[in-house]
A and B are shown apart, each in its own frame.
Chain A
Amino acid sequence: MVKFIIKRILAMIPQLFILSLLVFMLTKAMPGDPISASFLNNPNLDPEVIEELKEKHGLNDPWYVQYTNWIKRLLQGDLGVSYVHKVKISKLLGERFANTVVLGAATLIISYLIAIPLGIIAGRYQDSLADKLIVGYNYFSYAVPLFVFALLMLFIFGFRLGWFPTSGSVDPQVTKGTLEYYLSRLHHLILPATTAALLSTVGTIQYLRSEIIDTKYQDFVKTARAKGTPEKYVYNRHILRNSLLPIAAFLGTDIVSILGGSIFIEQIFGYPGIGQLFISSILQRDYSVVVVLVMLSGFLAILGTLLSDIIMSIVDPRIRIEE
């Protein structure tokens, strides 16, 4: 198992290398550069000064020189400096990354808390009224665009009812480390996390429902009933465990989608995380940050599939990791 994980991580290196090359070249192919972008609204500035600054930051070097320089620094643990924010990217990322992870984890947990019971009910009592309502909710959450729903939630629970704050990740007036601070964070988290969760249940519910319907008619369930096993155990021990397998397999990729999914939610709820940073960095041509963020999501994607494989090998005895 350990050997397998090490092997897979080693195999990640060339993948990440190709990804970095690709991302780097793409950002270079984008029109504009951070220096010009930051002085865009200042027509008085001498173009020669801009040229000088570009030269100083190495932006006029051929791309492969820029790339090798960047990789060298990256390998030393230096993610580089944001042109726009003028701070080290590692510092810029730090807190935002933590915010996004917390938001993503909360979303995932709430999503499972809603989806698993609903999927079970829909699958077990197939074609009942409850099943029809759940399938209806599924269609709804699938069809409604995230930003419309998020704005609606923000309007109702944030502005009209005033139950939850409408932006930020914590009340700036509370002191860090106190109970109050954590409660405030939780308070800020509930609305964006619930909103995202309500719309992300669709896959899990649908999958679980059809898995349960499928498993219900399997021969081994007949075997279990033929032993005189009470229905409660037939469902818990036999049907459910087998139906949850694919859900467990998705967990790895779900974790990765935290990053992607956060972009809209963070933007709408003014939640300072990676997603928000990503959008502003693109708009401001802050290449160094964009590249690092894309690399990060690529890394997580590869990690996610590895995680899925490991989870599968734990929950399903038929899948064994070799060496």
Chain B
Amino acid sequence: MSQKPLLQINHLKTSFRIGDEYYAAVDDVSLTVNENEVVAIVGESGCGKSALALSIMKLHQPENTKIEGEIIFNGTNLVPLTIEEMNKFRGKEIGMVFQDPMTALNPLMRVGQQIEEGMKNHLKLSKEEMKKRAIDLLDKVGIPNPERTYYRYPHELSGGMRQRVVIAIAIACEPKLLIADEPTTALDVTIQAQILDLLKDMQKEMQTGIILITHDLGVVAEMADKVAVMYAGEIVEFADVETLFTNPLHPYTRSLFNSLPSAEHVQDRLHVIQGMVPSLKNLPRKGCRFADRIPWVDRSAHEENPEMREVEKGHWVRCTCWQHFDFPDEAEVKSYAIT
């Protein structure tokens, strides 16, 4: 596998305005995606994973958003670019797949037109060439009868078929990087499996780098080469997928695994993480951000300014508290219970 970095995110901080103040939803995130590599970013709602994805494409409302730090794509820092300059990358170098195929397509445009729009923006092709390419793409993403689907409107297709169209749009100009933001969350399991398999096949064939945003650890296990776990705007753990699934270290990662009901082995009770995810306005900005949710771990176990450290080769964990963390028994949890 090639190890040439495709995207390098350095100290990225994305802040949103609430009232007159800016609050960082992504706080000091650094991450590298190599060519031909699938990096999953996993976390619960509000952890900043989607904000991170949109920051790379600069798709936030500019009047309410502040992006600081560096996003270096193939040698170009995207952060200072204007929208016009950014448009040279969007769709051409970086493609994006969105969560909800029901709303991600323009209801008034035919499927074919929507696929061709990206080509029109970036490639100098004739009408016939574009049409041929669009039909080829529809075929490639596994849509039966692509010639007819080319003329269809989105509402005439099922959710799974629409998501295939969304993927066809994203790969229309053969981007080097694909950002998939919860690409299967809105779909049924059998359709989810088909879409994941499709993404895997595409990735192998086109050698694309993929950033996969998801809350579903199962999807991560099926797709990713490397995984970044995000909590409260920060990456708390980063490792290759097998390491993370066999030897998760950060208390948050371990808690997530323990709260997951599984179809494979049955347990009576699931682990419940204490308290709740803090809102953007109330994110703890100092110390270990997960400390409040593991109150039985002694304060001294946390670092004052928690940093990502490489604890084994390629396995990074934030804060020192993981060395002192263990799950308490249930009675103990109850005594800390906050409702």
A contacts, CB < 8 Å to B = 218-220, 222-231, 237-238, 241-242, 245, 315-318
How far is it, in angstroms, between the C-alpha of A258 and the C-alpha of B114 when the chains are bound?
39
How far is it, in angstroms, between the C-alpha of A228 and the C-alpha of B103 when the chains are bound?
19
The interface residues of chain A lying within 8 Å CB-to-CB of B122 are 228
- A223 and B169 in contact, given A228-B91, A229-B87, A317-B107 (Cβ under 8 angstroms): yes
Whether A226 and B103, one on each chain, are in contact in the complex, defined by CB atoms closer than 8 angstroms, is no
Using an 8 Å CB-CB cutoff, how does the interface string of B143-166 with A read, 1 for contact, 0 for none?
A: 000000000010100000000001
Whether B89 and A220, one on each chain, are in contact in the complex, defined by CB atoms closer than 8 angstroms, is no
B:84-120 near A, CB below 8 Å: 84, 86-92, 95-96, 98-100, 103-109, 114, 117-118
Whether A316 and B108, one on each chain, are in contact in the complex, defined by CB atoms closer than 8 angstroms, is yes
Report the minimal beta-carbon distance from B90 to chain A, rounded to whole angstroms. Answer: 4
Whether B121 and A317, one on each chain, are in contact in the complex, defined by CB atoms closer than 8 angstroms, is no
Report the minimal beta-carbon distance from B64 to chain A, rounded to whole angstroms. Answer: 11
How far is it, in angstroms, between the C-alpha of A4 and the C-alpha of B59 when the chains are bound?
44
Q: Is the interface of A mostly helix, strand, loop or mixed?
A: helix
Whether B59 and A220, one on each chain, are in contact in the complex, defined by CB atoms closer than 8 angstroms, is no
Whether B90 and A225, one on each chain, are in contact in the complex, defined by CB atoms closer than 8 angstroms, is yes
Whether B104 and A227, one on each chain, are in contact in the complex, defined by CB atoms closer than 8 angstroms, is no
Report the minimal beta-carbon distance from B67 to chain A, rounded to whole angstroms. Answer: 15
How far is it, in angstroms, between the C-alpha of A223 and the C-alpha of B114 when the chains are bound?
9
Q: List 28 A-B contacts (CB under 8 A).
A: A219-B98, A219-B103, A219-B104, A220-B105, A220-B106, A222-B98, A223-B104, A223-B106, A223-B114, A226-B57, A226-B90, A226-B91, A226-B95, A226-B96, A227-B118, A227-B169, A228-B88, A228-B89, A228-B92, A228-B121, A228-B122, A229-B91, A229-B118, A229-B121, A230-B87, A231-B83, A317-B155, A318-B155
Known: A219-B98, A222-B59, A223-B114. 14 other contacts (CB 8 A): A219-B100, A220-B105, A222-B98, A223-B105, A223-B106, A226-B98, A227-B91, A227-B169, A228-B87, A229-B117, A237-B109, A316-B108, A317-B108, A317-B153
Whether B98 and A227, one on each chain, are in contact in the complex, defined by CB atoms closer than 8 angstroms, is no
**Number of residues from B at the complex interface, CB < 8 A:** 34
The interface residues of chain A lying within 8 Å CB-to-CB of B83 are 231
Whether B108 and A228, one on each chain, are in contact in the complex, defined by CB atoms closer than 8 angstroms, is no
**CB-CB nearest in chain A for B166:** A223
The interface residues of chain A lying within 8 Å CB-to-CB of B153 are 317-318
Report the minimal beta-carbon distance from B147 to chain A, rounded to whole angstroms. Answer: 18
**CB-CB nearest in chain A for B96:** A226
How far is it, in angstroms, between the C-alpha of A224 and the C-alpha of B114 when the chains are bound?
8
List the 7 shortest-distance A-B pairs measured between CB atoms, nearest first.
A228-B91, A227-B118, A228-B90, A227-B91, A219-B103, A226-B96, A228-B87
Whether A227 and B100, one on each chain, are in contact in the complex, defined by CB atoms closer than 8 angstroms, is no
Report the minimal beta-carbon distance from B8 to chain A, rounded to whole angstroms. Answer: 21
Report the minimal beta-carbon distance from A317 to chain B, rounded to whole angstroms. Answer: 4
With beta carbons under 8 angstroms apart, the residue of A224, A237, A318 that contacts B107 is A318
Whether B155 and A238, one on each chain, are in contact in the complex, defined by CB atoms closer than 8 angstroms, is no
Report the minimal beta-carbon distance from B180 to chain A, rounded to whole angstroms. Answer: 12
- A238 and B106 in contact, given A219-B100, A228-B121, A317-B153 (Cβ under 8 angstroms): yes
Whether B121 and A241, one on each chain, are in contact in the complex, defined by CB atoms closer than 8 angstroms, is no
How far is it, in angstroms, between the C-alpha of A224 and the C-alpha of B90 when the chains are bound?
10
Whether A224 and B106, one on each chain, are in contact in the complex, defined by CB atoms closer than 8 angstroms, is yes
The interface residues of chain A lying within 8 Å CB-to-CB of B84 are 230
The interface residues of chain A lying within 8 Å CB-to-CB of B109 are 237
**CB-CB nearest in chain B for A315:** B108
Looking at A226, A238, A241, the one whose CB has the most chain B CB atoms below 10 A away is A226
**CB-CB nearest in chain B for A231:** B83
Looking at A218, A237, A317, the one whose CB has the most chain B CB atoms below 10 A away is A317
B:158-198 near A, CB below 8 Å: 166, 169-170, 172
Whether A225 and B106, one on each chain, are in contact in the complex, defined by CB atoms closer than 8 angstroms, is no
Report the minimal beta-carbon distance from A228 to chain B, rounded to whole angstroms. Answer: 4
**CB-CB nearest in chain B for A220:** B106
Report the minimal beta-carbon distance from B124 to chain A, rounded to whole angstroms. Answer: 14
Report the minimal beta-carbon distance from B172 to chain A, rounded to whole angstroms. Answer: 8
How far is it, in angstroms, between the C-alpha of A222 and the C-alpha of B153 when the chains are bound?
18
Report the minimal beta-carbon distance from B193 to chain A, rounded to whole angstroms. Answer: 23
How far is it, in angstroms, between the C-alpha of A237 and the C-alpha of B109 when the chains are bound?
9
Report the minimal beta-carbon distance from B17 to chain A, rounded to whole angstroms. Answer: 13
The interface residues of chain B lying within 8 Å CB-to-CB of A226 are 57, 59, 90-91, 95-96, 98, 170
**CB-CB nearest in chain A for B179:** A226
Report the minimal beta-carbon distance from A211 to chain B, rounded to whole angstroms. Answer: 13
How far is it, in angstroms, between the C-alpha of A316 and the C-alpha of B109 when the chains are bound?
10
Whether B106 and A230, one on each chain, are in contact in the complex, defined by CB atoms closer than 8 angstroms, is no
Whether A227 and B117, one on each chain, are in contact in the complex, defined by CB atoms closer than 8 angstroms, is yes
Whether A223 and B98, one on each chain, are in contact in the complex, defined by CB atoms closer than 8 angstroms, is yes
Whether A242 and B98, one on each chain, are in contact in the complex, defined by CB atoms closer than 8 angstroms, is no
How far is it, in angstroms, between the C-alpha of A225 and the C-alpha of B262 when the chains are bound?
38
The interface residues of chain A lying within 8 Å CB-to-CB of B155 are 317-318
The interface residues of chain A lying within 8 Å CB-to-CB of B105 are 220, 223
Report the minimal beta-carbon distance from B278 to chain A, rounded to whole angstroms. Answer: 25
The interface residues of chain B lying within 8 Å CB-to-CB of A242 are 106-108
Looking at A229, A315, A316, the one whose CB has the most chain B CB atoms below 10 A away is A229
**CB-CB nearest in chain A for B83:** A231
